Structure 1
């Protein structure tokens, strides 16, 4: 049985009339998607592109910020790299709903994986873990995401899980030198941990 919910516009957003919430637990309604669509349509000034159209300026901005992040990362300015990747992620997340989802998934997977590397360099293991999991969710058959996840797990002292993540990554790229090296290091660390516990 469906429920009728009174709506109203409040601060340019659709909300429940009774509680004025965009996400209302009392009415069990969420208007986030309709508000996102409305925001994107307003931005076009009535000129909605055909399905699958990509706005080149957004892609250029994302590519520029990703390259800025890569430059900072190579120079070991990891905090600046994280800021650049985060800015690019925010823009990629905000792609209009009519653009191909595959494009955003690819961009986000790479950006999250890159930011995970910067977090790993700063030993921010939980942030690295979250980003690596996100990258894998978006692009599962990609060895780089599993490599980053393994490194984050090692940093958290979860060696067995890290080894499993690396082994899964090897299934997608059996010749990956970085995964094979990390796997050897992890196995040595796991053996040392197990010996210390005996």
Structure 2
């Protein structure tokens, strides 16, 4: 099977030829163009080894200010503003160069996702809170507070069995966590009530 590719020397991008309708190939070409653009923007033939020392410090300062602004808005009860600040911060984190240290990016992203999930829980946007908590669990699956966040979101979405499972998983990492135990008791009572067994 032959595939025709095009190359634009002005924009330095590769494109699929006419009549090629392959979604996975189109995605690979898009990723190739993204990496090529980032490599060209780095200004060197070979990108530097990704370390915390080569992390973009200017972007880090802006991201830190957004985080502090979001935390301040959260403390003053402006939960919608807080969620917006954290969302902007997450957008900035996702714009980091692909050749930067993933360890630093992951730390920033997890901090913002935790905070935004908490803000979404306060604004009763439970599906968004669930999505953030679910992503956090995929990134850091040994953190009990992330199971608490997803469990609370599940509870308010009416997914009581899923909430129970989340609280129990969180307790498996921190069996003396009072908040997880309290929430587990609440959801167990709710499950009994839903089943008609509650007195």
Q: TM-score, normalised by structure 2?
A: 0.84
Which residue of the partner structure matches residue 25 of structure 1? 22
Which residue of the partner structure matches residue 8 of structure 1? 7
**Per-residue displacement from partner, 1:1-24 (whole Å, max 9, x unpaired)?**
x743312339944321326x9xx5
Task: Tell me how far apart the structure 2 counterparts of residues 106 and 74 of structure 1 sit (CA, whole Å).
Answer: 22
SS in 1 for 2:65: helix
Q: Is 2:120 the partner of 1:122?
A: no
SS in 2 for 1:59: helix
Task: Tell me how far apart the structure 1 counterparts of residues 10 and 189 of structure 2 sit (CA, whole Å).
Answer: 58
Task: Tell me how far apart the structure 1 counterparts of residues 2 and 133 of structure 2 sit (CA, whole Å).
Answer: 40
Task: Tell me how far apart the structure 2 counterparts of residues 123 and 61 of structure 1 sit (CA, whole Å).
Answer: 28
Distance 1:11 1:137, change over 3 A: farther
Task: Tell me how far apart the structure 2 counterparts of residues 26 and 148 of structure 1 sit (CA, whole Å).
Answer: 35
Which residue of the partner structure matches residue 44 of structure 1? 42
Once the 2 structures are TM-superposed, how far is the Cα of residue 37 of structure 1 from its aligned partner?
1.7
Q: Over the residues paired in the alignment, what is the CA RMSD in angstroms? A: 2.6
Once the 2 structures are TM-superposed, how far is the Cα of residue 106 of structure 1 from its aligned partner?
2.2
Q: Which moved more, 1:177-186 or 1:4-13?
A: 4-13
Structure 1 contact 132–146 (Cα < 8 Å) conserved: yes
Task: Tell me how far apart the structure 2 counterparts of residues 55 and 27 of structure 1 sit (CA, whole Å).
Answer: 31
Which residue of the partner structure matches residue 113 of structure 1? 114
1:37-186 matches, within 5 Å, as 37-46=35-44, 50-52=48-50, 53-186=54-187
Once the 2 structures are TM-superposed, how far is the Cα of residue 183 of structure 1 from its aligned partner?
1.5
Distance 1:167 1:6, change over 3 A: same
Task: Tell me how far apart the structure 1 counterparts of residues 73 and 159 of structure 2 sit (CA, whole Å).
Answer: 29
Structure 1 contact 108–138 (Cα < 8 Å) conserved: no
What 5-or-longer segments of structure 2 have no aligned partner?
none
Once the 2 structures are TM-superposed, how far is the Cα of residue 165 of structure 1 from its aligned partner?
0.7
Distance 1:192 1:62, change over 3 A: same
Task: Tell me how far apart the structure 2 counterparts of residues 26 and 131 of structure 1 sit (CA, whole Å).
Answer: 27
SS in 2 for 1:107: helix
Q: Which moved more, 1:138-147 or 1:183-192?
A: 183-192
| Structure 1 runs (4+) greater than 6 angstroms displaced | none
Task: Tell me how far apart the structure 1 counterparts of residues 99 and 25 of structure 2 sit (CA, whole Å).
Answer: 27
